[in-house]
């Protein structure tokens, strides 16, 4: 049946799998799952905070958002959803996690509440996509801009593709008041959905005219992120190279550009986030996935989760890593050792 399998994965299989994964997550408040490991206090309608279950701390920097179904620690950087939490904290496999979430193991949310949340979420997503498309529409070709200078500083010597542009855009906005921060320069990478429509943008914010990434340590000692994604982040990807039935997936845009420079005839797709690596929605034309991982614990865990996720969709999946002395593909390109 090998031949049948090759062309036989239907988009229905992938859609059904993704639907099951989403349903598994939507059935619970993430805080009910995390509360088994750390005590959480309410901080907003659907936001909670507590001591981080992943690192030792005395003041709470671990945030849980039941609206988004996500958690994030400002201290150690751990972040993800119900699935990544259970994989990391209870050492379950991706598939075991989905099964557990679909069972009676955790308290579930009422159907009525779920319908309401779904409608709210769809509205919020549409608004986020509008913001991302606005950022993209204000961007300009990268040639001769700080975006190009940044790419060159990372050893990327090939002409940049259409999907990489330069933009001046705010790092933050307040959805309630409509207030926005001041504009910063950024390399903008287009995020495309399963149909190829631009539904998001990952901005790599830049400093020193593009010679380095934006870096700032806040007053409380936490670091401001250089990369922010806008629009639809889950399921979308920053695409490089020609379309093909074999896609190579990686975490970050610098790695994606590096791999594309080395393998220009291949399809390289960037998930734009460690937690996003298992969640890219792949069109039914793709029948083989290779994961180009990062060489650290978080990178290897993400690849493991991704292998399980894509194999679960009936896709043969393999993984490969840079040489052991390099953290990621771009470090390897530039000879920057750990």
Minimum CB separation of residue 28 from Zn ion in Å reads 22
Residues 6 or more apart in contact with residue 21 via CB below 8 angstroms: 83, 98, 279, 309
Q: Residue with structure tokens 């002409």?
A: 159
Q: For 322-329, which contacts have Cβ atoms below 8 Å and span 24 or more sequence positions?
A: 322/295, 324/295, 326/295, 327/294, 327/295, 327/296, 328/251, 328/252, 328/254, 328/255, 328/294, 328/295, 328/299, 329/250, 329/254, 329/255, 329/258, 329/259, 329/292
Residue 78 beta carbon to Zn ion: minimum distance, rounded to whole angstroms: 5
Q: Which helix (H) or strand (E) holds 292?
A: strand 288-292
CA distance 187 to 199: 17
Rg (C-alpha) for the chain, rounded Å, is 20
- Stretch of residues binding Zn ion (CB under 5 A), selected from 38-46, 53-61, 300-308, 309-317: 53-61
Report how far residue 337's alpha carbon sits from residue 209's, in angstroms, rounded to the nearest whole number.
26
- Tell me which stretch binds Zn ion (CB under 5 A): 45-53, 176-184, 237-245, 261-269: 45-53
Whose Cβ is closer to Zn ion: residue 78's or residue 255's? 78
| Cβ 45 to Zn ion shortest distance, Å | 24
Q: Which two tokens stand for residue 156?
A: 């990327």
Q: Answer yes or no whether residue 40 interacts with Zn ion by CB under 5 A.
A: no
Answer yes or no: are the C-beta atoms of 48 and 42 closer than 8 Å. yes
Residue 286 C-beta: closest distance to Zn ion, Å: 35
Segment lying near Zn ion (by CB under 5 A), choices 14-22, 52-60, 147-155, 168-176: 52-60
| 73 touches Zn ion by CB under 5 A | yes
Select the residue interacting with Zn ion from 16, 19, 44, 76 (CB under 5 A): 76
As a whole number of angstroms, the distance between CA 211 and CA 151 comes to 9
Q: How many residues bind Zn ion (CB under 5 A)?
A: 6
Q: Which of residues 287-306 bind Zn ion (CB under 5 A)?
A: none
Choice between 149 and 275, CB closer to Zn ion: 275
Among 26, 67, 68, 75, which residue interacts with Zn ion (rule: CB under 5 A)?
Answer: 75
- Which listed range, 42-50, 74-82, 92-100, 181-189, lies at the site for Zn ion (CB under 5 A)? 74-82
Residue 74 or residue 205: which is nearer to Zn ion going by CB?
A: 74
Numbers of helices and strands, H then E, in the chain: 10, 18
23 or 90: CB nearest Zn ion: 90
In the three-class reduction of DSSP (H, G, I as helix; E, B as strand; rest coil), residue 200 is classed as strand
| Choice between 76 and 119, CB closer to Zn ion | 76
CA 311, 201, 114, 104: dihedral to nearest 10 degrees? 30
Tell me which of 40, 48, 52, 149 binds Zn ion, using CB under 5 A. 52
Q: Report helix angle 94-102 to 297-312, nearest 10.
A: 60
Tell which positions 127-186 bind Zn ion, by CB under 5 A.
Answer: none
Q: Which of 14, 40, 54, 307 binds Zn ion (CB under 5 A)?
A: 54
What is the Cα 294 distance to its own chain's centre?
14
Q: Is 223 in the site for Zn ion (CB under 5 A)?
A: no
Smallest distance, Å, CB 35 to Zn ion?
A: 16
Binding site for Zn ion (CB under 5 A): 52, 54-55, 73, 75-76
């Amino acid at each position: 049946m090998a031949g049948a399998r090759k062309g036989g994965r239907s988009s229905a299989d992938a859609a059904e799998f993704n639907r099951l994964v989403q349903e598994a997550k939507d059935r619970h408040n993430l805080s009910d799952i995390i509360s088994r490991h750390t005590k959480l206090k309410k901080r907003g309608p659907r936001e909670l905070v507590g001591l981080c279950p992943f690192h030792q701390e005395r003041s709470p920097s671990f945030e849980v958002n039941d609206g988004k179904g996500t958690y994030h620690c400002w201290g150690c950087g751990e972040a993800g959803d119900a699935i990544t939490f259970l994989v990391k904290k209870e050492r379950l496999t991706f598939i075991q996690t989905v099964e557990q979430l679909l069972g009676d193991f955790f308290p579930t949310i009422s159907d009525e509440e779920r319908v309401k949340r779904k409608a709210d979420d769809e509205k919020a997503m549409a608004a986020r996509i509008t913001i991302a498309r606005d950022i993209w529409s204000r961007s300009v070709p990268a040639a001769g801009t700080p975006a190009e200078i940044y790419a060159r500083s990372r050893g990327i010597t090939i002409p940049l593709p259409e999907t990489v542009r330069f933009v001046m855009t705010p790092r933050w906005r307040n959805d309630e008041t409509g207030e926005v921060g001041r504009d910063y320069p950024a390399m903008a990478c287009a995020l495309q959905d399963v149909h190829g429509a631009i539904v998001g943008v990952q901005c790599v914010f830049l400093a020193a005219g593009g010679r380095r990434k934006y870096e700032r340590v806040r007053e409380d000692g936490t670091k401001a992120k250089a990369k922010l994604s806008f629009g639809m982040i889950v399921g979308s990807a920053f695409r490089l190279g020609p379309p093909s039935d074999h896609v190579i997936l990686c975490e970050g845009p610098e790695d994606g550009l590096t791999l594309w420079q080395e393998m220009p005839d291949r399809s390289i797709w960037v998930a734009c986030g460690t937690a996003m690596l298992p969640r890219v929605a792949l069109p039914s034309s793709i029948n083989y996935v290779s994961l180009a991982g990062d060489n650290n614990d978080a990178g290897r865990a993400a690849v493991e989760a991704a292998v399980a996720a894509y194999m679960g969709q009936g896709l043969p999946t393999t993984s490969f890593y840079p040489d052991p002395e390099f953290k990621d593909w771009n470090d390897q390109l530039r000879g920057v050792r750990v």
